[in-house]
Structure 1
């Protein structure tokens, strides 16, 4: 850990773990480089010619070259990863489980983007665009993408624009079963909302409210917590996921807080994400700020996972000075999920990550768009930090890597995740460093961040199970899934025209809504 920047630097006790038995199979993982937990320093350290011994679902031992051979002798199998960086599995708390809409909605100004929301008329009688089987395929597509990009733990998110209203209990049960089959660790709950953003016929924005649908969604979310308990699957944890805070009623937010406290369940909510579409609406219609709304609902506490956390008082588009928002988050023990790549694509920047860390706010990372690539997200965040500070020394690479591992683990209250250490969960990922296109290897993290992407992930293990090897997921027909994903994407794209509030008398077309970069001839 570089310096004392908030809670990420504090050593944590390992979670209680069951003792490994001699009957459990052991696997030795060998790699030229590894990022491991150094108990003496209370932080990460680089280990060359590393061997990590995994027994059952836990890491049993870690050694460098000198003692590595002895560890390998204790293993039933040795997997030699060669010239690769072995590191803690990446934790994505905004992991997209979707066939992404970013291709379609991140290129346009506000006037054109308004056409991609639901029309007020459509909101009166929305419907599912996809069949149940297609929705299941879409979720599998998204979960596979997470694994292929080095994610081992995810709190999924998906767009609701193509649904009848919001996610259902059965949607998330299917997600849980698919994730468990693939071997991905997930923290799940159906998203619910009392209202939806709409564009009226005159082009003005608004929210269409349907409290009955909100109540039904919340009931589904609570029922899903019961279902997860019944599953007793160590890879699946139930959480509460209210939608964007301005679309959830005060009553549902308060009841969310009550259930969260009673069941000790995490709550992820999208807030401090927008100005006109969130902060201004809350000020005008409910007389509050996003943070105050969460506080009065009883949600501002250590169970809160706050997606984005951009438009706080320190942001120049709000007050441009610290009036206490960061201290409130830190004192509450809440987590901000920073999504630097998505922020860049939609042009809303978190104002200096260093301020958040110095204030003691726990920071985790999320992808929130396609590809779910935390390596690209880290690189984007590092470059932004340099530019914001006008200082190459503020690259903050270590802090971003820690956010993608330790910060996520802290948010999940799972100190056994996010690190490679004896007793920790065997959630590991390896990125290849041997491709000529990767260039020279000096510091492996710098090399991966500057020259690589999440697509360089070649191996991952979750709870001691190999879920990806040589860049492939065992038993998965990746070619067939890609083809089906393309078909579903084209069906989703075609549905936008039906919801276009600003269509002319003859309606709109895909070509009008999504013109190509250059004319097609």
Structure 2
């Protein structure tokens, strides 16, 4: 319907004087792609009114590390060590030649399926992330062309760029992990990513923007990262670089460069304000100072870190240094509310009950991501901001006196009711137009089962699947 749309609910999280504010029994007015008004009431004319009742009207979440494939990290939840369980390529697999374990059609479906899951969880701006463990080397431009089409169709706001790398990890049968490099292949991947970036940046009415995604820091050479920094800076595009996330990474980087990961980025001149750095769980205080000095963003992914015994040291301390913190889901489910809840719990376990409040984590999921992207029109509901809105249903939950605290204690992504992006209602009452949730879930599981069946190919010693993934309990035969 043309004209203004007025949304109302028990709670509205608006934005004023550089801070979120809460309106009880508030309204949001959308005009075109933007927010026209946020407040307690609105006296102007509107073409449509939607009253959500017992709900929170919230700015949509900004996911700086948004799952865009079928997450293989969940396979390692009770199955380790990683080198024994197909998370590091064995030398024998590399010798025979790594291959694509999904078809182009499967990869295209996974992006579309993942994008729908992001919307379903109130994520309105996403920077996709996928594993390269099951790839021949890096991501392809073709699959990101398909991703752009999926984002355009579904209405998701995305920053897109295929992941590339100049190196990889391999293990012998004793678990000794080393790095192998093919710089020419990696630089070719960067060139293809740069051409893709120029072609797609600003398409779909500005909802699709370019990003650069060099893979984990231990898989990148200096030339690759320097060139990435130069190209991205020239375009004004963000760069995401996974670093400071594992002891193996720290060892390989120190062996190669005689310093820590973020120190190396700083030394080669790559660490800049447009860089986003997941995960930081192994970062030192000196490295946090370098991040802060560069004006870069730390991307906190608490759920995936906690699942594997990791924790950021620590959210309150990093925030206290003035470092911008954004959030990433980086795992299944792509539930930003659950992600925030785990972030709250782990921060309090690390630094005490009074070290963090609910609004600190909510800021990271909204304003922190927007700041990382240099977007004052995202992550907030204020006049002139993009009408990117998540509506969370509270009818079936026990509410506290504050809506943000209720999000941290009583709801999940499954309570998402409606989602608006760029003024378009992309999900209504839990339904995304053009998406058959049940059929897509079955198709995704079939593809995932097919990948699991191929795990022996890329697992040290090539054991059968039954030995790679051990069951929780005995399964008696009939």
Report if TM-score (shorter chain) is over 0.5: yes
Alignment partner of 1:388 is 2:347: no
1:26 corresponds to: 4
TM-superposed CA distance for 1:99, in Å, is: 1.1
2:26 corresponds to: 50
Q: Is the 8 A contact 1:114 1:203 kept in 2?
A: no
Q: Is the 8 A contact 2:203 2:209 kept in 1?
A: no
TM-superposed CA distance for 1:114, in Å, is: 5.0
Q: Is the 8 A contact 2:263 2:290 kept in 1?
A: no
Q: Is the 8 A contact 1:493 1:510 kept in 2?
A: yes
TM-score by length of 1: 0.88
* Aligned counterparts, 1:373-384, within 5 A: 373-384=335-346
Q: Is the 8 A contact 2:79 2:469 kept in 1?
A: no
2:387 corresponds to: 426
SS of residue paired to 1:350 = coil
Matched length: 475
Aligned CA distance change for structure 1 residues 292 and 216 (closer, same or farther; 3 Å): same
* Aligned counterparts, 1:96-135, within 5 A: 96-110=67-81, 113-124=84-95, 125-135=97-107
TM-superposed CA distance for 1:211, in Å, is: 2.1
SS of residue paired to 1:46 = strand
TM-superposed CA distance for 1:110, in Å, is: 2.2
What do the CA deviations read for 1:485-513 (whole angstroms, capped 9, x no partner)?
1101101111111112223xxxx211111
Alignment partner of 1:359 is 2:321: yes
Q: In structure 1, which of residues 293, 300, 305 is the aligned counterpart of residue 271 of structure 2? A: 300
TM-superposed CA distance for 1:230, in Å, is: 7.6
Q: Distance in 1 between matches of 2:99 and 2:245?
A: 27
Q: Is the 8 A contact 2:152 2:204 kept in 1?
A: no
Q: Is the 8 A contact 2:76 2:85 kept in 1?
A: no
Q: Distance in 2 between matches of 1:254 and 1:325?
A: 19
Q: Is the 8 A contact 2:179 2:252 kept in 1?
A: no
* Aligned counterparts, 1:139-150, within 5 A: 139-150=111-122
Q: Distance in 1 between matches of 2:102 and 2:239?
A: 28
2:471 corresponds to: 516
4+ aligned runs moved over 6 Å, structure 1:
none
Q: Is the 8 A contact 2:68 2:128 kept in 1?
A: yes
Q: Distance in 1 between matches of 2:335 and 2:367?
A: 17
TM-superposed CA distance for 1:477, in Å, is: 1.1
Q: In structure 2, which of residues 308, 312, 315 is the aligned counterpart of residue 346 of structure 1? A: 308
1:262 corresponds to: 234
TM-superposed CA distance for 1:112, in Å, is: 6.0
Q: Is the 8 A contact 1:29 1:53 kept in 2?
A: yes
1:59 corresponds to: 35
SS of residue paired to 1:299 = coil
* Aligned counterparts, 1:185-264, within 5 A: 185-229=157-201, 231=203, 233-264=205-236
What do the CA deviations read for 1:461-502 (whole angstroms, capped 9, x no partner)?
010001111011022111111110110110111111111222
* Aligned counterparts, 1:396-475, within 5 A: 396-435=357-396, 438-475=397-434
TM-superposed CA distance for 1:388, in Å, is: 1.5
1:35 corresponds to: 13
Aligned CA distance change for structure 1 residues 51 and 240 (closer, same or farther; 3 Å): same
Aligned CA distance change for structure 1 residues 194 and 355 (closer, same or farther; 3 Å): same
TM-superposed CA distance for 1:159, in Å, is: 1.0
Q: Is the 8 A contact 1:383 1:395 kept in 2?
A: no
TM-superposed CA distance for 1:193, in Å, is: 0.6
Deviates more, 1:132-141 or 1:108-117: 108-117
Alignment partner of 1:329 is 2:291: yes
Q: Distance in 2 between matches of 1:178 and 1:398?
A: 33
SS of residue paired to 2:265 = helix
TM-superposed CA distance for 1:359, in Å, is: 0.8
TM-superposed CA distance for 1:232, in Å, is: 5.8
Q: Is the 8 A contact 1:207 1:247 kept in 2?
A: yes
SS of residue paired to 2:342 = helix
Q: Is the 8 A contact 1:34 1:85 kept in 2?
A: yes
* Aligned counterparts, 1:157-176, within 5 A: 157-176=129-148
TM-superposed CA distance for 1:209, in Å, is: 1.7
Aligned CA distance change for structure 1 residues 121 and 497 (closer, same or farther; 3 Å): same
What do the CA deviations read for 1:47-102 (whole angstroms, capped 9, x no partner)?
111111100000001121xx34x24xx22111221210011000110100011112
Aligned CA distance change for structure 1 residues 95 and 187 (closer, same or farther; 3 Å): same
Q: In structure 2, which of residues 277, 283, 288 is the aligned counterpart of residue 312 of structure 1? A: 283
Aligned CA distance change for structure 1 residues 56 and 254 (closer, same or farther; 3 Å): same
Q: Distance in 1 between matches of 2:78 and 2:436?
A: 32
SS of residue paired to 1:271 = coil
Q: Distance in 2 between matches of 1:231 and 1:170?
A: 17
Q: Is the 8 A contact 2:98 2:136 kept in 1?
A: yes
